[in-house]
Amino acid sequence: MARNMKKSSEHIIKRISPVHSVTIDYFAFCGTYPFGMPGHFSLARLAKELSIMNVSMAYVSDIGSFFKKNVVSANKIFLEKCRKFNCKCIRPVPVIDLSMPDFESEICHYIENYNLKAIRIAPNYHGYRLKAKCKRLADILNAYKIMLLIAKEIEDSRFQASCLGVKPLLINDLVPLFEAGFNSKVILNNFQFVEFKDYISDIPDNFYFDSTAFEKGFGELETFVEKHGVNRLVYGSHIPFLYAGAIMHNLHMSLLRVSKVSKIFKGIAGNA
C-alpha cells in the first residue's frame, strides 16, 4: 500500500512539473531539526524529488543551521556533505549569523573553498536586528557578486501554532536591507504581496519575491503580476516544509498565462 501511494504521489508531481529545460528553486531545505529525532530529509531524497519535479537547480539550506548555536560548525558540515554528494542541481546556501563579529571572513572562506553563489540570513532565528549589519553585508556581497536570500519564516504558520515557532519577520524589519545599497540580487522568501504592497516603490529592482506564500490570499499572485509584472517573481518550493510540488501546482492552477508561469520557473537571468 505504501509503495503504491508513493508511486501515485510521484505520478502527480510529474504531471504538474514544468517541461521547459530550466527550473530554479530559490527556497529549499534538507537535513533535520537539531533536537530530537523528528526524521531526516537527506540530500539524496531532496535530489530525487527535484528530479521528479524537473527542477534543474535548487538553492538549498540546512534546516539545523537555523537552530544551532554554532552556526559555523553546522555550515561546514553541510557544505562538506554537499561537496561529497556532488549533485549539480543542488547549490548549497549556508546560513550566516550576522551577530558574529567576523562574519565577513566566514563568507570569504566559503566563497574561496566551496564556490559559493548565495548565502542566507535569518535574523529572527539568530536574534539580531539588521540595521547595524546591512552595510557591511552589502559591501562583501557586492564585491563577490553573491546573492542574498532571506525568509519571513521557514516553518509554515499553517501547520504550526504561533507559540511554537520563531517570530516572523515583518517588512519593517527589512527596511535596512532596502537602504543598504545591495548591487547583488536579493530574494525575499515566503512573504505575501499584501505585506509589501505599500513598500513596492521603495524596494530596489534587484530585490525579488518568491511565489511560496502568494496562494495564502485569494488572487494575490495575479494581482501582483497585473500591477508589477512577472519579472520580479521567482519560484520557491519550501520543500520539505510543504509537500513536494504544492507551489508548482498552485502556479500551474493560477490564472496566469503559461508563458508567465514559465518565466517564474526560469528564475533570474544568469542563475542557470
CATH architecture of 23-266: Alpha-Beta Barrel (3.20)
* pLDDT of res. 13: 52
Cα–Cα distance for residue pair 66/124, rounded to 1 Å: 9
Q: Which of 106, 87, 88, 104 minimizes the C-alpha distance to 138?
A: 104
* pLDDT of res. 4: 45
> pTM of the predicted model, to two decimals?
0.89
Q: Which residues contact 228 (CB under 8 A, 6 or more apart)?
A: 200
* pLDDT of res. 152: 95
Instruction: Count CB-CB contacts under 10 A for residue 79.
Output: 19
For the chain, give every domain's residue range: 23-266
* pLDDT of res. 9: 45
Contact by Cβ (8 Å): 189, 148? no
Which phi and psi (to 5°) does residue 234 adopt? -130, 170
Contact by Cβ (8 Å): 83, 89? no
User: Identity (one letter) of the amino acid at 6?
Assistant: K
* pLDDT of res. 165: 72
* pLDDT of res. 8: 43
- Angle (CA) 220-221-227 rounded to 5° is 85
Contact by Cβ (8 Å): 227, 240? no
Per-residue pLDDT of the chain (272 residues; tens, 9 = 90+): 434 434 444 544 554 555 555 799 999 999 987 765 667 899 999 999 999 999 999 999 999 999 888 899 999 999 999 999 999 999 999 999 999 999 999 999 999 999 899 999 999 999 999 988 999 999 999 999 999 999 999 986 666 666 767 889 999 999 999 999 999 999 999 999 888 888 888 899 999 999 998 877 788 899 999 988 999 999 999 999 888 889 999 999 999 999 999 999 999 975 54
